[in-house]
Structure 1
């Protein structure tokens, strides 16, 4: 045992075979933090489901729900990480004759390691759901950018009960085109018109002259309009269809953009919440370590030495 230069406290050289990390205490704190996080997250889900409503103008708004979710996640991180850090600091092995700065550093490290283990355990449980949400948003944006018009026309064809998903239906229909008025069923007529519209919208958006004349012939046959009036009706209906497809594509793009922004802000606030959890875990570990040691760290010049004077009886 050596003495420090000021001679007030002993300094003990540690053996290199002893570890400064108490892994049992760290795993105990991490288990407590992970369990409490799970409980609080489940509680948050329950409160969130009671706050939302499928009816319009009822329940919490989407913005309010997002803010409350972020606040609850931050609260969960602070409380669970603080508890885990405190347990790790309180249960760690007591170090004898250790300088106060070293004890403070080790307690902080124990709290941080307990937070790391708890975070990794929690991440392995929820990484699947988080990745599915993010990848789903990316795939939705790609689908919207590449094939919104095609999806719209295919959905319209399916809605009237026709195989609009057949990519060769348009060409097959062209085999049987005839200038003579031919009486066909409504289903066949709707299917042919849907395939013509779908092909025109998925290509350059322009209705070919032969397709326009063919559709006008069918309209004139079924409505007793003149050929010119039938062509004008075809143009009007096709223009409305184009506008409906463009509006659907714009709405889908706006939804994808909103989803991307929400995902970005959620990731940012989760990052901040995790940093807060790491800080409070380290802080709580130092407090738990001090309670474990039940000592107060004083400066070197604050130490006071006391002596005991014993009075002996006189020698006779």
Structure 2
């Protein structure tokens, strides 16, 4: 056996000699945890300062303060700078505090230092995401609700304005009115009942796209009686008001869709820049750990 080992060493002079494996882990968890705590603290400090600067740069008055585009660009730049500073300091400290390896090759030391920096970033990111999980869930939920609201039809936008006008409606109010509607509009108890009845008919017509053929003759008769105009003029007024109500509802729907689309784009942009900042933080922490490790070895 000794002769065979001698022959192997002669044939492969660069082959490493067999050594007993170490029972200790190469990861200095104390240094990793210390670096992660430093990264979290420095990030919180810089984000707090950036938030204060953002509030100082904004103004509730029109044409004063920083613009929205400049504020968004400044926030992104500050986020990237925060990652560089926080994880640069954390990675360097972790590299300086880690255990010194005597029996490891140069390439192995470089890999271990890089791994320590990456572990600092990973631990800090996991803890930060766990703490911010509720906030992210709220943002996603708000975006989903905005998209669902944008998908509502024009009738929903019209019906949402009825409570502001003092009209209380429900899904069955229209059908209740149909059942109790008198054949002669003059038997209506008061003007308030007539207004509420017209509002319900218009709201139901909005859900169908137009006032139904069943409701139109009664509504024309009611308008003519309440206004004193003839039937032709009442029909013309009904057509004009119905078109105006439809246009108002369509404009409200377009505004809602535009707001939902803006929220979707903002959420997508934030997610992409957050990904870029996290990737930058991982790179900076790994690189800074190698620098700190080399300083530790010197």
Do these two structures clear the TM 0.5 threshold for a shared fold by scoring above it? yes
Q: Secondary structure at the match of 2:262?
A: helix
**1:17 offset after TM fit, Å?**
0.4
Q: Which moved more, 1:98-107 or 1:177-186?
A: 177-186
Q: Does the alignment pair 1:92 with 2:109?
A: no
Q: Hey, what's the Cα distance between the residues in 2 that align with 1:50 and 1:193?
A: 51
> Which position in structure 2 is the counterpart of 1:236?
240
Q: Does the alignment pair 1:255 with 2:255?
A: no
Q: Does the alignment pair 1:156 with 2:161?
A: yes
1:1-316 alignment, distance < 5 Å = 13=19, 15-145=21-151, 147-164=152-169, 166-174=170-178, 175-182=180-187, 184-203=189-208, 205-294=209-298
**1:168 offset after TM fit, Å?**
1.2
Q: Hey, what's the Cα distance between the residues in 1 that align with 2:52 and 2:86?
A: 18
Q: Secondary structure at the match of 1:88?
A: helix
Q: Could you list the runs of 5+ residues in structure 2 that have no partner in the other structure? A: 1-12
RMSD between superposed Cα atoms in Å:
2.1
- CA gap of 1:64–1:14, structure 2 versus 1, over 3 A, is farther
Q: Could you list the runs of 5+ residues in structure 1 that have no partner in the other structure? A: 295-316
Q: Deviations over 1:220-249 (max 9, x none)?
A: 222221111011101100100001111111
Q: Deviations over 1:64-122 (max 9, x none)?
A: 22211111111111111111111110100111143221111111110010010011111
- CA gap of 1:139–1:235, structure 2 versus 1, over 3 A, is same
Q: Secondary structure at the match of 1:268?
A: helix
**1:142 offset after TM fit, Å?**
1.8
- CA gap of 1:36–1:275, structure 2 versus 1, over 3 A, is same
Larger Rg: 1 or 2? 1
> Which position in structure 2 is the counterpart of 1:309?
none
> Which position in structure 2 is the counterpart of 1:306?
none
**1:173 offset after TM fit, Å?**
1.5
Q: Hey, what's the Cα distance between the residues in 1 that align with 2:227 and 2:288?
A: 81
Q: Hey, what's the Cα distance between the residues in 2 that align with 1:279 and 1:61?
A: 32
- CA gap of 1:187–1:39, structure 2 versus 1, over 3 A, is farther
TM-score, with structure 2 as normaliser: 0.89
Greater helix fraction, Structure 1 or Structure 2: 2
* Preserved CA contact (<8 Å) 1:12 1:97: no
